[in-house]
Amino acid sequence: MATVKPLGDRSISEDDGNRKIHKFDPKKCQEESCVSRQSEQKPESIYESLLRAKLTALQLNFNNLKIPSACLDDFEILGFLGEGGYGQVWQVKHKREMELYALKVQSKEKIMSNRNQLRRLINEKNIHSVLDHVFIVKLYYSFKDNACVYLALEYIPCGNLFQAKLHSGGFTEDKTRFFVSQVILALEYLHRSSIIYRDLKPENLLIDIKGFLKVADFGFAKRVTGLTYTFCGTDEYMAPEVLTKRGYEKGPDWWSVGILTYELLYKYSPFFSDTPERLYYRIKNDRVTFPAYIRVSGSARDIILRLLEKDTSDRLGLLIGGVDDVKRHEWFRSTDWLSLYVQKCSVPYKPKQFPAVYADMEKWPRSKELLYEKDFEKF
C-alpha cells in the first residue's frame, strides 16, 4: 500500500441548493473573447478591464453571501490526499456531476479544542466562497454533519510548490519568476478587494495539471479597512511588523513574496534559524545576505531586498505605485502579465501528478448525535 505523507503545516496563530459544475467554463470563454475583441488596446488596459469585472463580481458576492450546500452522500470517496493541523483532505467525486473535488474534512471536536480555530474556519469559508480568480483555488460547497464540517474545493492534482521545490532541488530564475508572478496577480486581486492573505508559503501554493499555481488555504485571510494587529502566519514568512504587533495592512503579504522568491532561488529562508526566538530576532534585525555559490541576477537580488525592507514606508508594493511598482520592476521586464493571466504564456515547469491513495476511513470522525449545534450555526 502506498505511503501517505502529511500535507504539512507551518502556520501558527494567536487568535482567530447544489451548484452544477460543467467542464465548459463560460467565464473563461468570456475573458478570452474580451481579449480577442480588444486586441487593439494596450495589454494593460485589457487586463485592467478583466480584473475590474472580477472585483465587481466579488463585491456583489460579499453583499449577497450565498454558499452552495451539499451533503456527504452526494460524493463518492475515492482516496486520501493528505492531512494538516486540523483535518484531512480526500479526493471525492460528485455522484451527479461526475466532477472531482478535494474534500477538506475537519472534526468539530478538534476545532472546539481551540475556539479561535472556529472563528478562523467560519472566516475562511465566508471569504473563500466569494473568490473567483484563475490563480486561486475555488471553493464550491460547504456543509456539515453531526461530527464534521466539510469544504469541497477545486481538485488540484499536482501537489504544492514545497513538494516541487524538494523534488527539483530549487528553481531557476525563469521558473521562480513564473511562479512568483502568479502570486503577485492573486495578491493584486485580493488587495484591491481589501483582503489580506497572511499565510503565503510554498505549501499553500498548489500546482495544477498545466503547471500554473493556485493559492489555497484562506484561514488567515481578512477583510481590512485599517490596521490589524493579529499575530498569525508561518514563522519563517512573518514580517517584522507582525512580530512587533505595531499594526499592519498589506505589508506582510509583500514581505512574504520576498521570502518566497528568496527561498525558491536559494532553497532556504533568508533568516533561517534553529529556534523561533532566534528566527524572530533575525527577521527584526538582520540584513538579507546572498550566498555567492548560487548565481542570481542583480535584478533578482534587488527585488528581494526591496520586498524585504523592514521599514514599511520603503517596502516595494506599499509605495505610491502599489502593486504596479512590483510588476514594473526590472526583474519582471520579460513578463507579459495579460498572457499570464489568461494562461496563454509558455509554462517552464512540467508538473507531476500525485494520485490519491487508499486509506482506512474508520478514523473518519462519526457521531450519532449532533455535536456543537449552536457553535456551528454560522457555518
Contacts of 312 (CB under 8 A, 6+ apart): 241, 248, 251, 318
pLDDT in tens, 223-243: 999 999 999 999 999 999 999
Residue numbers in the known binding site for ATP are 104
Residue 265 lies in a domain: yes
Same domain for 209 and 329: yes
pLDDT in tens, 268-297: 999 999 999 999 999 999 999 999 999 999
pLDDT at residue 16, as a whole number? 44
Same domain for 253 and 164: yes
pLDDT at residue 168, as a whole number? 80
pLDDT at residue 24, as a whole number? 42
Same domain for 185 and 86: no
Proportion of the chain in helix, strand, coil states, percent, rounded to 5: 40, 15, 45
Q: Is the pLDDT at 6 greater than 50, yes or no?
A: no
Instruction: Report whether 88 contacts 105 (CB < 8 A).
Output: yes
Q: Is the pLDDT at 27 greater than 60, yes or no?
A: no
Residue 238 lies in a domain: yes
Same domain for 206 and 146: no
Residue 246 lies in a domain: yes
Same domain for 163 and 146: no
Question: Per-residue pLDDT averaged across 314-327, rounded?
Answer: 98
Same domain for 371 and 308: no
Residue 223 lies in a domain: yes
Question: What is the C-alpha radius of gyration for the chain, rounded to an integer number of angstroms?
Answer: 21
Number of domains the chain contains = 2
Residue 50 lies in a domain: no
pLDDT at residue 86, as a whole number? 73
pLDDT at residue 25, as a whole number? 54
pLDDT at residue 9, as a whole number? 57
Same domain for 313 and 254: yes
Question: Per-residue pLDDT averaged across 207-218, rounded?
Answer: 97
pLDDT-based confidence at 35, cuts 50/70/90?
A: low
Residue 324 lies in a domain: yes
Question: Per-residue pLDDT averaged across 169-176, rounded?
Answer: 91
Q: Answer with the residue of higher pLDDT: 215 or 4.
A: 215
Same domain for 260 and 130: no
pLDDT-based confidence at 4, cuts 50/70/90?
A: very low
CA distances from 176 to 156, 164, 200, 349, 371 (A): 20, 12, 15, 10, 46
Question: Which CATH number belongs to the domain containing residue 129 in this structure?
Answer: 3.30.200.20
Which residues constitute the domain of residue 315?
A: 159-342
Same domain for 304 and 371: no
Question: Which CATH number belongs to the domain containing residue 227 in this structure?
Answer: 1.10.510.10
Same domain for 295 and 236: yes
pLDDT in tens, 299-308: 999 999 999 9
Locate all alpha helices (DSSP H) within 75-114, ordered by sequence: 108-112
Residue 318 lies in a domain: yes
Same domain for 178 and 319: yes
pLDDT at residue 39, as a whole number? 52
- Give the whole-number percent of the chain exceeding pLDDT 70: 89
Q: Is the pLDDT at 107 greater than 90, yes or no?
A: yes
Q: Is the pLDDT at 363 greater than 60, yes or no?
A: yes
Residues noted as catalytic: 199
Residue 40 lies in a domain: no
Same domain for 238 and 294: yes
This prediction's pTM: 0.88
